[in-house]
Structures are given as structure tokens and as C-alpha cells.
Amino acid sequence: MFSSRVPRSLQPNRITQAVRRARADGRGFIDLTATNPTTVGLDYAPAALSALTDTRALTYEPEPFGLLSARRAVACDFARRGSSVDPDRIVLTSSTSEAYSLLFKLLCAPGGDAVLVPVPSYPLFDHLTALDGVATIPYRLDYHGRWTLAPDDVARVWAGNVRALLAVSPNNPTGSTLAVDEFAGLVAMCARREAALIVDEVFADYSLGPEPAVSERAAECLTFRLGGLSKSAGLPQLKLGWIHVDGPEPAVDEAMQRLEVICDAYLSVSTPVQVAAPALIAAGGRIRAQIQERVRANYHALRETVARYPAIEVLHADAGWSAVLRVPSTRSEEDRVVDLLERDRVLVHPGFFFDFAHEAFIVVSLLPPVEMFADGMARVLERTHE
């Protein structure tokens, strides 16, 4: 029933045990895997949550897709990034994870159907698909100065039971975005095979260069674009995500009708956060600007520092909160990460956590405070350079 592919990231390993020991010994360590924006020293204004006390939330008005006022606010947020979106094609969810689950229920029959998922990528898909009884088929991203995918390679792994293709753009952790021709190739393939395209855009606000991470794109197949407050406003605790449904009218109409039934069975998004959504989304720019400044500063400082270590390379990233370093393959990733934690008190992710095709890579978060990040990376680079 479930996918038989168990990634190494989900298997017991020495890193998990080492982290438990490090947390228990009380000496502390620099956590370069931290991706919770509420714990990395950003300046959150207490008044930002005042909208949650709006007395309109005392009246319960169940709407399968969410309150229209909240969906209009989400449509305005899409407009901020250059996309014209109809609020009637927006579905509110409690999180991006729930959005995936709703779409798996919409598109797939448990125990038989499958979705295509990118690798490397965050291992969440393995959990979510298993919980809905959906199989996963990986398609690879390859690095040649930038991360790329070839539609022909995707076509080679496409099976008859595939109902959707998942794309994460910007990807976590590679920081790669789909180029125009890559996106067009995936759209054409999904349209030809009558499959859906699910595009996770949660990191779209965090370009590491001068170009925006996402632009308006035509949807010739049934397309679902995912986002949420967790990343766009740095508010993961408020549990508000969204799906924008796009594509040919007949396919969209049918999908919306079926989604209405599914969403009406759960009604998972709380009324206070829906009522507060316009204010929260509008106020999100303040935290978003801090995160943008933080991740860009850490990324560019990292590239400058690593340039002094010829055996280590920072892989190019377009956007996001993570950086990938290719390091000498003189030892296993597991040994390297455990050694860094136990000897240098720095925690990083091994590449295998994200299902990289081979060793040796380490992945770090760009979200920690600048001085802490610089200290941690100096220890990582000195130890790795030995």
C-alpha cells in the first residue's frame, strides 16, 4: 500500500543520537539547522497579533474554502508578487502540509496512485504521501553550475499510475527555481498526460539575487500553487496556508467542486486567524524584510568565506533559507556531522537527509543571526578543511 522507498533521512542514525546527547549535556551548541523564524532573534512587534482579538471572530461562519475576506487578502498577496489571482480560486488550509494532504485526497486513489517528487528536496513528502496511502516516484535535479531538471528524464520515470507532479520552486534545500523552459516542459507533460502540477512556492519571497524567485506563468494543465504565512510573514505558529487553483476552466471547475466536499468535511482553519488574515498579511512585510536581509547577508558572506577554501564549494542558489556545500569525500557525511557536533559544537545537516544522489554535502540554514552563523561556519570550514 505504501511506498517501499525508505529514504536514509528516515532511518535511525548516529546523528540523531549525537544531537540528543548534545542537548542533554547542557553545554549548548550552534544550531545551523534552525529554520524557525520566531527563535532566531528577529524583531517581532507585539502589536502584530492584535488583529487576533477582533470580536468578529466570535461569530462562526463555516466556509469550506475560507472566509472571502481572507481569500481576498491572499489574492492581494499574490498581486504583490506580480500574479493576478481570483479569490474564488483560492482555498485556505491550516498549513502547506495540509494543502498537500487535501490535494492527494483530491487527485489520488490510496493504495494505487502515485505522485512524482523532486530529489534532492525536504523529506516531508515521504511522510505525507505515506499518510494518505500514495506512492512516490522520485525525479532528480542535477547540478551543473545551477540545479536543473530535464523533462525527458522526468518522462522516463513517469508511470501509468502518476496523478500529479510536485515541484518545489524555490526548492528546499537546493534553493533552485524552475527556469521558464523547465516549467513549460512540466506543464506540457502534465497536460498531455492529464495529470496535475503542484507547485510549492513557500520560499518565493526570498530571492538571494537580483531576480524575483517566481513570476506569472500560464497554466495549461490543472495547477495548484501553494503558499502560507509560515514563510511569507514568518508566522508558522498561526497555521494559515493556501492553495491557488488554476488551469483549463473545466478542470478547475471540477477540482473546486470536489475540493469543496473535502474541505467542508474538515473546516480546519480557525476563525480568528481568518478574520485577522488581511492585517497579518499586510504586516508581514516587516518580518519578511528582516528575513530577506538576514538570509542574503549570510549567503553572500558564506560565499566570500568559502572562496578561501579551494576544496569546498557553495552550490549556487536562487532563493530560500538554505545553503548547500560540497565538501571533500574523505569521510562519510554521518561521520563528519557527528564530529562537528561533538568536537566543534556545531550542528549541520548531512546531504543524505535531503536524499542527495551521492556524498559528500552538508546543508546549513541561512536564518541564524549573522554573528552566530559566521562563528558556526568558521568552525565548520576549519574542521572540514583539515
The predicted pLDDT at position 3 comes to 41
Say whether both 119 and 257 belong to one domain. Answer: yes
Rounded CA separation 242/225 (Å): 8
Which CATH number fits the domain that encloses residue 323?
A: 3.90.1150.10
Q: Is the pLDDT of residue 107 over 90?
A: yes
Averaged pLDDT, 265-279:
96
Say if CB 107 and CB 223 are below 8 A apart: no
Is residue 3 assigned to a domain? no
Averaged pLDDT, 334-353:
95
Contacts with 328 (C-beta within 8 Å, 6 or more apart), sequence order: 311, 312, 360, 384
The candidate with the shortest Cα–Cα distance to 169, out of 125, 215, 236, is 215
Say whether both 105 and 34 belong to one domain. Answer: no
Q: Is the pLDDT of residue 1 over 50?
A: no
Domain count, the chain: 2
DSSP string, 133-181: T-EEEEEE-EESSSEE--HHHHHHH--TTEEEEEEESS-TTT-----HH
Task: Look at residues 283, 309, 337 and tell me which one is the last residue of a structural domain.
Answer: 283
The predicted pLDDT at position 2 comes to 37
pLDDT for 285-338, tens place per residue?
Answer: 999 999 999 999 999 999 999 999 999 999 999 999 999 999 999 999 999 999
pLDDT for 216-225, tens place per residue?
Answer: 566 799 999 9
The predicted pLDDT at position 12 comes to 53
pTM of the predicted model as reported, rounded to 2 decimal places:
0.93
Is residue 225 assigned to a domain? yes
Say whether both 269 and 315 belong to one domain. Answer: no
Task: Look at residues 237, 260, 283 and tell me which one is the last residue of a structural domain.
Answer: 283
Averaged pLDDT, 251-271:
97
Rounded CA separation 200/100 (Å): 9
Averaged pLDDT, 104-127:
95
Which CATH number fits the domain that encloses residue 258?
A: 3.40.640.10
Q: Is the pLDDT of residue 262 over 50?
A: yes
Biggest CA pair distance of the chain: 63
Task: Look at residues 283, 302, 335 and tell me which one is the last residue of a structural domain.
Answer: 283
Instruction: List 377's β-bridge partners, or say none.
Output: none
Q: Is the pLDDT of residue 374 over 50?
A: yes
10 Å Cβ neighbour count for 376? Answer: 23
3-state helix, strand, coil in the chain (%, to 5): 45, 15, 35
Domain that holds residue 265: 49-283
How confident is the prediction for the chain on average, in pLDDT?
93
What percentage of the chain exceeds 90 in pLDDT?
85
Say whether both 119 and 224 belong to one domain. Answer: yes
- Burial class of 224 by CB neighbour count within 10 A (0 to 12, 13 to 18, 19+): buried
Strands 322-326 and 313-314: antiparallel
What percentage of the chain exceeds 70 in pLDDT?
95
Is residue 377 assigned to a domain? yes
The predicted pLDDT at position 297 comes to 98
Say if CB 246 and CB 219 are below 8 A apart: yes
Averaged pLDDT, 248-264:
97
Strands 223-228 and 196-200: parallel
